Structure 1
Amino acid sequence: MESSTLLGAERKKRTKSTIVMIVLGALIITAFIISMNTGFTRLSPLEVMRTLFGGGTAKQELILFEFRLPRIVISVMVGAGLALSGCILQGVSRNPLADPGILGINAGAGLVVMLFVSFFPTTTAAPVFLLPILALIGATFSAFLIYVLSYKKGEGLMPTPMLLTGIGVAAGISSAMIVLTLRLSPEKYQFVATWMAGSIWGSNWKFVTALLPFLIILVPLVLYKARVLNVLNLGDQTASGLGAPVERERLILLAAAVGLAGSCVSVSGGIGFVGLIGPHLARRLVGPKHQFLLPASALVGSLLVLVADTLGRVILQPSEIPAGILVAIIGAPYFLYLLSKTK
C-alpha cells in the first residue's frame, strides 16, 4: 500500500513537472512571436506570417531574417546555456549562490574575447567561429583558478570559499578589462562597453552557427548526467559510498558548465544572473530532481533572456537597453535576498 502511494505521488510530480515545462515552452513561443513583431520598424503578425512563407517585401525579409530572427534565436540559445551552466555549478558545489557570472567564469571568457577583438576585426567569418573557442579558454582558466583555490582535500569544493574566490577572481579580471579599455580606439571601446553591459551583439546567422555545435554536444551530455548530479547533491562521502566516481564526474560536469558559459558569453556579452535566477525559479516550479530541473532551468533561462532583449529593444526606441542590464535589475536584488537567506 505504501509503495503504491509513493508511486502515485511520484507520478503526480512527473505530471506536474511536464505541465510546467509545456507551459514554459508555450510562453517562449509566445515571446518569440511577439519579439518578431517588435522593433523600431513594426511588423504586424500578418506581415510576419506572410514574410515567413516567402510573401513579404524585400525590406520585410531583410528585417525579419537578417536582423530579428538571428538575434531572437541567439537569445533563446544563450538563456538556455547560461541557466544550465548555473544549474550544474549549483549542483556540483551544493552552493545555491553559484552562477557563472558571479563566480567569474563569464569574466574570464570576456577577457579573452576582448583581447581578441582589440587586435582583430570580427567582421570576417574565421574570427566569428574562433570566438567561442577563445571564450572557452578564458572561462576554463577562471574555473581552474576557482577550483584550485576553493577545493579542500577530504571535503571537496567548499561552498563559501568558492563563492568568495569567484567574486575575487571576477573583480580582478574586470579590473584588468578596465585597464585594457584605456588602450582601445573609440570604436572598439564602444563595442567593449556594450559587450560588458550584456548586449546580444552577435546578431547574425554566423554567430548562431558558431554557437550551435557547443550546445548540440554539451546540452545532451548535461541532461544525461542528471542522475549523477542528484547523487553529488548528497555529498562526496555519500556519493562515493553509492559507487559514484566523484572527482571524475565533478570534473566532467564542471567542464560542461564552463563550456556552456564560455561559448554563450562569446556571442551575448557579459549577461549575468541568468545562471542564478533560472535554476532557482525552476526549482520552485519542478522541485530539486535534476531530470526535471535541468530542462526547466534551460526553459526559464531562455524565456528570461528573450523577454529582456525584447524589452530592451522597445523601452527606449530607437535606442536599446542591453539585455544584461534588464536581467541585472531583477538579478541583483534576488542575489542579495538569497545571500541574506544563506547561512
Structure 2
Amino acid sequence: MIHPAVLRKQRLLILGGFVFIILTIIIGMGMGYSSLSYNRLIPTLLGHGTFKEEFVLFSIRLPRIAITLLSGMALALSGSILQGITRNDLADPGIIGINAGAGVAVAVFFLYFPIKAGTFVYLLPLVAFIGAVLTAACIYVLSYSRKTGLQPVRLVLIGVGFSLALSGIMIVVISSAERSKVDFIAKWLAGNIWGADWPFVWALLPWLIILIPFTLYKANRLNLLGLNEPVAVGVGVSVEKERIVLLLTAVALAASAVSVTGGISFIGLMAPHIAKAFVGPRNQLFIPLAILIGGWLLLLADTIGRNIIGPDGIPAGIMVALIGAPYFMYLLLKK
C-alpha cells in the first residue's frame, strides 16, 4: 500500500516534469543558428508562418526536439531497469558496455552494408539491438555464478571492460573506412544527435509505446528482484526468467535510443537516482518520474550544447558527460 501523501507528491512532481519539458521545448524552438522569434512560434505552428519559419521549425527544430526527448526517456527507463535487476546503483547502459555494443553494430552496418536511405532508418534500431543483445549476453554470462547468482559488482567491472574493448574494435573498424563515413562515426561516438528527422522519430516511437507500459506492468517484479534472491524465489518469482526478459527490455530501449542519438552515457545513471531521491525506491513511483527526468536532461543538454558554439555546437553526449562523470565518481565513492 502506497501512502496517499507519497502518491500526491509523485503526481505533483510528474506535473512539474511536464512543465519543465514544455518550457525547454519552447526555449529550444526559438533558439538556434537560424533564430526564430518567440512571438512567431504560435502563428508558425498554426501554419501562418513564412516558408523559412516553417522550414526551420517543422523540418529542423521539432524533429530534433522529439528525438532528443524520446531518446532521453528510453535511456532513463533502461537505466532504471538495469539498476533494478542487477541491484547495483552504478548500472547504466553506457557504462556497462551495452551502448558500445550497439555502436559497433551500427558502425559495421553503416560502413559495410550499403542500403537505401528509407530502409536504413527503420533497420538501424534493429541492428543496434542485435549488437547490444550480443554484448549484454556476454556480460551476463561472465557475471553469473551458479553458486551466488548474478554478481552486481562483477557485472559493472566486466561491463566497463567490454566497453573499452569494443571502443578499441570500433577504432579498428573505422581505420580503413572512407573519410566521410569516418566523420559520421566520430560524431556518433561523441553523442551528436544525428537522426534529427521525422522518419527517425517514427522509427523510435514504437519501441517506447510498447516497452514503457510493459515495464510499468513489470514494476512489482522489479521491486522483488531488487531484494536478495532467496526472498524473490520465496514469494514465487522465477528470478532468471524475469531478469532475462527485463534485461532484453533494457537493451532494446538503450539500443533504439543510441541508434539515432549516438553514444550517450550517464542519462540512465542520473535520472533514476534523482527520481528515487524525490519519491523513494519503489519502481511504480520513481519510474514514471525518471522517464520524464531523463527526457528533460537530454533535451536540456542538447539545447544548451547546440547554442554554445555555432553552427554545429557541442554534442549532447559531451554535455551530458560533463555533468554525469562527476556524478558517477560521487556515486562510486558513496556506494
Q: Tell me which of 12, 24, 28 is aligned to 2:17.
A: 24
State which drifts further: 116-125 or 318-327. Answer: 116-125
Secondary structure of the structure 2 residue equivalent to 1:184: coil
1:167-246 alignment runs, 5 A limit: 167-246=160-239
Moved runs in structure 1, 4+ residues, more than 3 A?
A: 120-123
Q: What CA distance in whole angstroms lies between the structure 2 residues aligned with 1:336 and 1:281? A: 16
CA contact (8 A) 1:282 1:300 kept: yes
2:64 equivalent in structure 1: 71
Q: Which residue of 2 aligns with 1:276?
A: 269
1:162 aligned partner: 155
Paired position in structure 2 for 1:84: 77
Structure 2 CA distance for partners of 1:43 and 1:121, relative to 1, 3 Å: farther
- Partner of residue 107, structure 1: 100
Q: Deviations over 1:59-83 (max 9, x none)?
A: 1111111111000000010000001
User: What's 2:8 paired with?
Assistant: 15
Q: What is the CA-CA distance between 1:157 and the residue it aligns to?
A: 1.3
Aligned residue for 2:48?
55
What percentage of aligned pairs have identical amino acids? 50
Structure 1, unaligned runs of 5 or more: 1-6
Tell me the CA shift for residue 123 of structure 1: 6.5
- AA matched with 2:47: G
Aligned length: 335
Structure 1 residue 121, shift from structure 2 partner: 5.3
CA drift at 1:86: 0.4
Alignment-derived partner of residue 109 in structure 2: 116
Q: Could you tell me which amino acid in structure 2 is paired with residue 218 of structure 1?
A: L
Q: Distance in 1 between matches of 2:79 and 2:195?
A: 22
Hey, what does 1:331 align to over in structure 2?
A: 324
Give the TM-score taking structure 2 as reference length.
0.98
Tell me the amino acid that sits aligned with residue 121 of structure 2: V
Aligned counterparts of 1:334 and 1:233: Cα–Cα separation in 2: 22
Relative to structure 1, the CA distance from residue 83 to residue 122 in structure 2 (aligned partners, 3 Å threshold; closer, same or farther) is: farther
- TM-score under structure 1 normalisation? 0.96
CA contact (8 A) 1:122 1:128 kept: no
Aligned to 2:32: 39
2:53 aligned partner, one-letter code = Q
CA drift of 1:289 comes to 0.7
CA RMSD of aligned residues (A): 1.2
1:255-293 deviations in Å (ceiling 9; x for gaps): 100000011110010001110011111111111010011
| CA distance in 2: counterparts of 1:228 and 1:134, whole angstroms | 29
What code does the residue aligned with 2:279 have? V
Partner of 1:146: 139
Aligned to 2:288: 295
Q: Which of 289, 307, 325 lines up with 2:300 in the alignment?
A: 307
- Residue 216 of structure 1: CA displacement? 1.2
In the alignment, the residues of structure 1 paired with residue 86 and residue 325 of structure 2 have an alpha-carbon distance, to the nearest angstrom, of 21
Secondary structure of the 2:24 match is helix
Instruction: Give yes or no for contact 1:155–1:236 (8 Å, CA) kept in 2.
Output: no
